[in-house]
Amino acid sequence: MSFGDPNNPYGPPPQQPPAAPPGYGYPQQAPPPPGVPPQQAYPGYPPQQQAYPGYPGYPGVNQMMPQSMPGLLVTARVFLYIISAVQIIGALGFLYFAAFASDVSDGADEFGFSAGSDGADMAAGIFGVFALIAAALAALSITLGVKFGRGGQGIRITTVIYGALGAIVGLLGLFVGVDSGFASAVVGPLLWLVFGGIIAAAPVVPSGTAWFARPRY
């Protein structure tokens, strides 16, 4: 019985095949030095938090809440400030005419013209009332323009009514200007009609409606 026989029980044990070397690109991790704890694996990144969704749409409006004032509302706001400037100038003009009529009334009293004095007093009163109305409308125009930033449904409805009334006044003035035959008499009412129409339409369009319906914190 030879030692080369693989079935010989008294022969040496068969040699095991050499272990395969580590694959390419996968180096063996060196053991840590004595006294150094093994390095812990870095935990995975926490899942990103879900971004906050946009504000819900206004009932009947299929869009997200705007984060900045829409362009049409910005235009309406500028028009309100322009109108308020015109109304302030008108109030000052009416006050001047009221003061002038009061002076005429005083002069008529000095010369004994009672009829002229009464007429001048009436004119002074009418001009004074017009001055108060113009000043009140100027204050309303400025208030609406300022409240566009944080105003709610009350400001929205008031702006729509205010713009609609202004558009009606401009339309009536446009008819009068066309009947007069003067081109210069049409320019003012036409501008007033355009301003009033934009002011009334800006809070009604979907972007304006969503702006006034947005939540406030």
The string of pLDDT tens digits covering residues 59-84 is 444 445 557 889 999 999 999 999 99
In the chain, what percentage of residues exceed pLDDT 70? 62
Q: Is residue 138 scored above 60 in pLDDT?
A: yes
Q: What's the pLDDT at 197?
A: 94
pLDDT at res. 214: 84
The pLDDT, as a whole number, for residue 94 is 94
- Rounded to the nearest integer, the mean pLDDT of the chain is 77
pLDDT at res. 29: 55
pTM of the complete model: 0.65
Distance of CA 49 to the CA centre of its chain: 28
pLDDT, tens only, 8-55:
555 555 565 555 555 544 455 555 555 555 555 445 444 444 444 444
Q: What angle do CA 201, 207, 211 make, to 5 degrees?
A: 100
Q: Of the ranges 96-100, 114-118, 148-152, 213-217, which is most confident?
A: 96-100
- Segment 92-107 shows an average pLDDT of 84
pLDDT digits (tens, 9 = 90+) for 201-215: 999 999 999 999 888
Spatial separation of the C-alpha atoms in residues 158 and 140, rounded to whole Å = 10
pLDDT of residue 63: 47
Residue 114 lies in a domain: yes
Rounded mean pLDDT of 101-117?
Answer: 64
Domain contains 179? yes
**2-16, 94-108, 116-130: which has the minimum mean pLDDT?**
2-16
Residue 43 forms part of a structural domain: no
Domain contains 39: no
Q: pLDDT tens-digit profile of 183-196?
A: 778 888 899 999 99
Is the CB of residue 196 less than 8 Å from the CB of residue 159? no
Find the domain containing 77 and state its range.
71-212
Question: Does residue 135 belong to any structural domain of this protein?
Answer: yes
Number of domains in the chain: 1
Is residue 34 in some structural domain? no
| Burial of 128 from C-beta contacts in 10 A (0-12 / 13-18 / 19+) | middle
Please, are residues 214 and 59 in contact by the beta-carbon 8 Å criterion? no
Rounded to the nearest 5 degrees, what angle is found at the Cα of 105, between the Cα atoms of 104 and 108?
A: 85
